Amino acid sequence: MKPLFVLLTVISSFFVQNSFAAKDDVAPIVLQSFQQAFNNAKEVSWTATSNFYKADFALNGQYVSAFYDGLGELVAMTRNITSFQLPIYLQANLKKDYTAYWITDLFEVTNEEGTTYYATLENADTKVVLQSASANKWSTFQKSSKQ
């Protein structure tokens, strides 16, 4: 249950307005943990949520987000990806089953349980967020009508 709560909190943080935190507002243990894991990080900015610290940064030419709890434990990492970075089965499934949609957001979440992909697709009437915890099957995470 706890991993599901963590994952949902991380995902919901993408859709909720967060408060930006100065480096001085981040717990020292979190900063130390971040520095040990990502000592080559560039352009680091911090955001504080009610449950997590979020570091957005550039690493090896890509932008990544890392989520830490108050004890300095890395909870999850996210990065935006292109459709070509999806596993082949997921790419094929999007092309086959969602031809009337365009991709407006695509990212992966990596945590201790593995990697989960999220794709936000839209057409003129509908917005759907798909989730895949495997490399070959999408499930509907959220669906809403545009009006």
Q: Which helix (H) or strand (E) covers residue 36, if one does?
A: helix 28-37
Give the per-residue pLDDT at 51: 85
CB atoms within 10 A of CB 46: 20
Q: Is 16's pLDDT higher than 80?
A: no
User: Using alpha carbons only, how large is the chain's radius of gyration in Å?
Assistant: 16
Distances from the Cα of 141 to the Cαs of 8, 72, 127, 134, 138, in angstroms? 10, 29, 11, 14, 9
Using the predicted structure, report yes or no on whether residue 138 has a pLDDT greater than 90.
Answer: yes
User: What is the value of pTM for the model shown?
Assistant: 0.80
Tell me how long the chain is. 147
E strand spans, the chain: 19-21, 42-48, 53-59, 62-68, 74-80, 102-111, 114-122, 126-132, 139-145
What is the tens place of the pLDDT at every residue in 22-54? 666 899 999 999 999 999 999 999 998 778 999
Highest mean pLDDT, choosing among 5-19, 21-35, 49-63, 75-89: 75-89
